[in-house]
Structure 1
Amino acid sequence: MNYVIVGNGVSAIGAIEGIRSRDRDGRILVISDEQVPTYGRPLISYYLADKIKLETLPFRTEEFYRDNGVDMKLGARVVVVNPAERTLELQDGEVVKYDKLLLATGGSPLQPKIPGIEGKGIHNFTTVAHAESLREIVDKVKRVAVIGAGLIALKAAEGFAEKGIEVSIIVRSRIMRAYFDETAGDMIVSHLERNGLHFYQGAETKAILRNEDGSVRGVETDRGEVPADVVVIAAGVRPNMGLAIAGGIETGAGVRVDDFMCTSDSNIFAAGDVAEAKDMLTGEYTVRPIWPNAYTQGRYAGQNMAGANAPYSGGLSMNSVTYYGLPTISVGNSEENEATGHEVAVHLDRENSVYRKLVFKDDVLVGCVLIGDIDAAGFYTSFIKNGFQLDEEGKKRLMDGDPSPSLWPEEFIEAMLNNP
């Protein structure tokens, strides 16, 4: 069997491990337009801040690829997928054949239509190459403006702030709204402001302002000018669906896959930030661009490419980040409230920066937000992932911060003991 993986993110690693769990002999070829093997993308802010070295970024060692018989073409771009012929054409003209193909092409930063955005001084922050270009200027700038409200924006800001640079974050609505409610977001902002970051929340970006020589002067917003020497655009990511679309593969918000991570072509699979896959809690098919989902999707795709016929149970909305010593986690449908028919329990201790929000639907925990104290996060997640029914006493214990495994169903505990 001839397996080809386009893309080299964490879903590619999952796919390699999935394939090799079923097929030790088939050829695996990974093609990536990046110059380096898979690395920990969430770590690039620490690399920018000189907290870690480049050699610590790889997600797997060189031995991993060698031991799993993986060939790699780095710095190579696929320009055409031909499903009828089961071939790929590379930018240099080379044609590659496949029996089973995985599209793990990830996403690309969105570039909003802002006057002045074209030109020098504008950067993105999603790859090690982006981090490298910023490292070249990080000691030459005094003020940085970050446009965006998500994880990429906050991590870029953190990387610069750690180098003692003045950082302003321009947010159209509020930070991390896909994962955190208003209370949690306000707590994170307050914590970051105490550590020197400046926030312009609810500010609309009007233009990038430039000096006569074309260099960046600042950002014009509806709340005034934000001075800056460099602007980082972190306004979201768009799935890289171009190859799938041109190849006649069905797409929506992402490349559409079934419960086996297979696309509309039976020989082509998709996983990671490009895939529109099943959500564990809602049963809907959506794009969830987070690492744990990407790896798991890749592993299931790899197993099924090798003939496993193993259904993917679905991804879970999840985010876990520590900001300047403040740990945070959000799991599941954490934004729901009483107006949507959910029961919500909240514990708030602003003095100690502790927040716990639990969301229940029909006596099942479907979401949680934890700020400050996250020691029980794994237990809360187990209740969400497994959909355990809770009686009033069980719900109260969860609300009181005691998601004890003693509340798990006996049959679940027995299954765990019998399948360690």
Structure 2
Amino acid sequence: MHYVIVGNGVAAIGAVEGIRQYDTEGAITIISDEAVPTYGRPLISYYLADKIKLDTLPYRPEKFYADNKVDMKLGSRVASVSPEDHSVILESGEAIAYDKLLLATGGAPAAPEIRGIEGKGVYNFTTVAHAEALKEVIDSVKSVVVIGAGLIALKAAEGFAERGIDVTLVVRSRIMRSYFDETAGDMVVSHLEKNGLKFLQGVEINRIKRYGNGGVKGVDTDKGFIPADLVIVAAGVAPNMELACNAKLNTNKGIVVDDFMGTSNADIYAAGDVAEAKDMLTGEYTVRPIWPNAYSQGRYAGFNMAGAGKSYSGGLSMNSITYYGLATVTIGETILKDESQYEIRITEDQDNFIYRKLIFKDDILVGCILIGDIDAAGFYTSFIKNQFKLDGEGKELLMTGDPSPALWPDEYIEAMLNNP
């Protein structure tokens, strides 16, 4: 059996480990257009800030690939997939045959329609190659504008600010709006402003202005002009579906997969930021571009490529990030379309940057936002994942920030004791 994995993010690592759990002998080939093995993408801001070195970025040690008998083809781009003859064709012209194929092609930075966006001085910030390019020019930069509102934008801003560079984030609505409510977002912004970052939220971007020689002059918005030597565009990512579309796989907002991570072709699977997979809480199929889900999807794809027939129970929207010492966690359903369907409980301490928002539906915890005090995040996750019912006393205990395992159902505790 020959397993071919296109992409070398965390989903690929999960797939290798999943395959090897059921097949220790089949050949595994990973093809990546990046020049380095899998690394921790959230760490590239620390690499840019010179807080860590390149050799600390890898997600698994080099021996991981040798121990798992993985043939690596780095710096190689797949031009097409041919399901008819079970092969992938590289841009070099080389054809690689597969028995089972995993598309873990991730996402590419979105390119918003902004005048002046094309040309030198405008960068993305999703790969180590982007960080390397920025490290080459960072010493000549005094001011930066970051366009975007999500995690990538905030981490890029942090990387530059740590180098003493003036940073302004330009946001069309508000930061982290897919995970934070307005109160949580404002609290994080206030904390970041105290640490030197600047924010311009709720603005429209007119254009990136340039000098006559093509260099960046700054960003023109409906609330004024912001001078900058360099612009980072971090306006989200779009799933890399070109290979899937050309191979005539079913696609929607991502590559459509079933509960076994299989695509519309019996021998092709998909996982990670490119896959439209099941959500644990809602049962809907959606793209959830976060690391824990990508790894888990890759692992289940690996199981099933090796014939295990194991059903993926679904991903969970979850983010955990620290901004200049302020810890934040969001789990489950945190942005609600109709709050009247939910019971919401909030504890807030603006002076100490502490915010706890618990969201219940039908006496089940379905989501939470934690700012500052995140010690109970693991417990909240267990309640959300397992959909434990809670009475009024149980909800109050959760609101104290000190939930007890005594609230777990007896059968759940017994199952844990019997399956350590």
* TM-score using structure 1 length: 0.99
The DSSP-based 3-state class of the residue aligned with 1:212 is coil
The DSSP-based 3-state class of the residue aligned with 2:140 is coil
1:252 corresponds to 2:227: no
Counterpart for residue 262 of structure 2: 262
Note closer, same or farther for the CA distance 1:76–1:340 as it changes in structure 2 (3 Å cut). farther
Counterpart for residue 198 of structure 1: 198
User: 1:402 Cα deviation (Å)?
Assistant: 2.5
Q: Which amino acid aligns with 1:154?
A: L
User: 1:340 Cα deviation (Å)?
Assistant: 3.8
Counterpart for residue 283 of structure 1: 283
Counterpart for residue 43 of structure 1: 43
User: 1:64 Cα deviation (Å)?
Assistant: 0.3
1:393 corresponds to 2:389: no
Equivalences for 1:333-352 in 2 at 5 Å? 333-336=333-336, 339-352=339-352
Q: Take 1:402 and 1:196, find their aligned partners in 2: how far apart are those partners?
A: 33
Note closer, same or farther for the CA distance 1:276–1:340 as it changes in structure 2 (3 Å cut). farther
Counterpart for residue 358 of structure 1: 358
Counterpart for residue 154 of structure 1: 154
Q: Take 1:338 and 1:267, find their aligned partners in 2: how far apart are those partners?
A: 40
User: 1:400 Cα deviation (Å)?
Assistant: 2.2
Q: Which amino acid aligns with 1:75?
A: G
Q: Which amino acid aligns with 1:153?
A: A
Counterpart for residue 300 of structure 2: 300
1:90 corresponds to 2:86: no
Equivalences for 1:50-69 in 2 at 5 Å? 50-69=50-69
The DSSP-based 3-state class of the residue aligned with 1:139 is helix
User: 1:339 Cα deviation (Å)?
Assistant: 3.0
1:207 corresponds to 2:210: no
Q: Take 1:285 and 1:23, find their aligned partners in 2: how far apart are those partners?
A: 29
Counterpart for residue 80 of structure 1: 80
Q: Take 1:8 and 1:337, find their aligned partners in 2: how far apart are those partners?
A: 35
Q: Which amino acid aligns with 1:80?
A: S
Is residue 338–residue 344 contact of structure 1 (8 Å, CA) maintained in 2? no
1:109 corresponds to 2:109: yes
Q: Which amino acid aligns with 2:174?
A: R
User: 1:335 Cα deviation (Å)?
Assistant: 1.8
Q: Take 1:291 and 1:118, find their aligned partners in 2: how far apart are those partners?
A: 30
Q: Take 2:180 and 2:408, find their aligned partners in 1: how far apart are those partners?
A: 27
The DSSP-based 3-state class of the residue aligned with 2:84 is coil
**Per-residue CA shift, 1:232-280, capped at 9, x if unaligned?**
0000100000000000100000000000000000100000000000000
Counterpart for residue 405 of structure 2: 405
**Per-residue CA shift, 1:274-315, capped at 9, x if unaligned?**
000000000000000000000000000000000010000100
User: 1:104 Cα deviation (Å)?
Assistant: 0.2
Q: Which amino acid aligns with 1:268?
A: I
Give the 4+ runs in structure 1 shifted more than 4 A.
none
Equivalences for 1:112-261 in 2 at 5 Å? 112-261=112-261
Count, aligned residues: 420
Is residue 18–residue 302 contact of structure 1 (8 Å, CA) maintained in 2? yes
User: 1:336 Cα deviation (Å)?
Assistant: 2.6
The DSSP-based 3-state class of the residue aligned with 1:199 is strand
Q: Take 2:97 and 2:259, find their aligned partners in 1: how far apart are those partners?
A: 26
Equivalences for 1:306-325 in 2 at 5 Å? 306-325=306-325
Q: Which amino acid aligns with 1:178?
A: S
Q: Which amino acid aligns with 1:106?
A: G
Counterpart for residue 18 of structure 1: 18
User: 1:52 Cα deviation (Å)?
Assistant: 0.1
Q: Take 1:387 and 1:234, find their aligned partners in 2: how far apart are those partners?
A: 35
Counterpart for residue 376 of structure 1: 376
Q: Take 1:378 and 1:284, find their aligned partners in 2: how far apart are those partners?
A: 24
* TM-score using structure 2 length: 0.99
Is residue 171–residue 200 contact of structure 1 (8 Å, CA) maintained in 2? yes
Is residue 328–residue 374 contact of structure 1 (8 Å, CA) maintained in 2? yes
The DSSP-based 3-state class of the residue aligned with 2:125 is coil
The DSSP-based 3-state class of the residue aligned with 2:232 is strand
Counterpart for residue 327 of structure 2: 327
User: 1:337 Cα deviation (Å)?
Assistant: 7.5
The percent of aligned pairs where both chains have the same amino acid is 69
Is residue 337–residue 343 contact of structure 1 (8 Å, CA) maintained in 2? no
The DSSP-based 3-state class of the residue aligned with 1:138 is helix
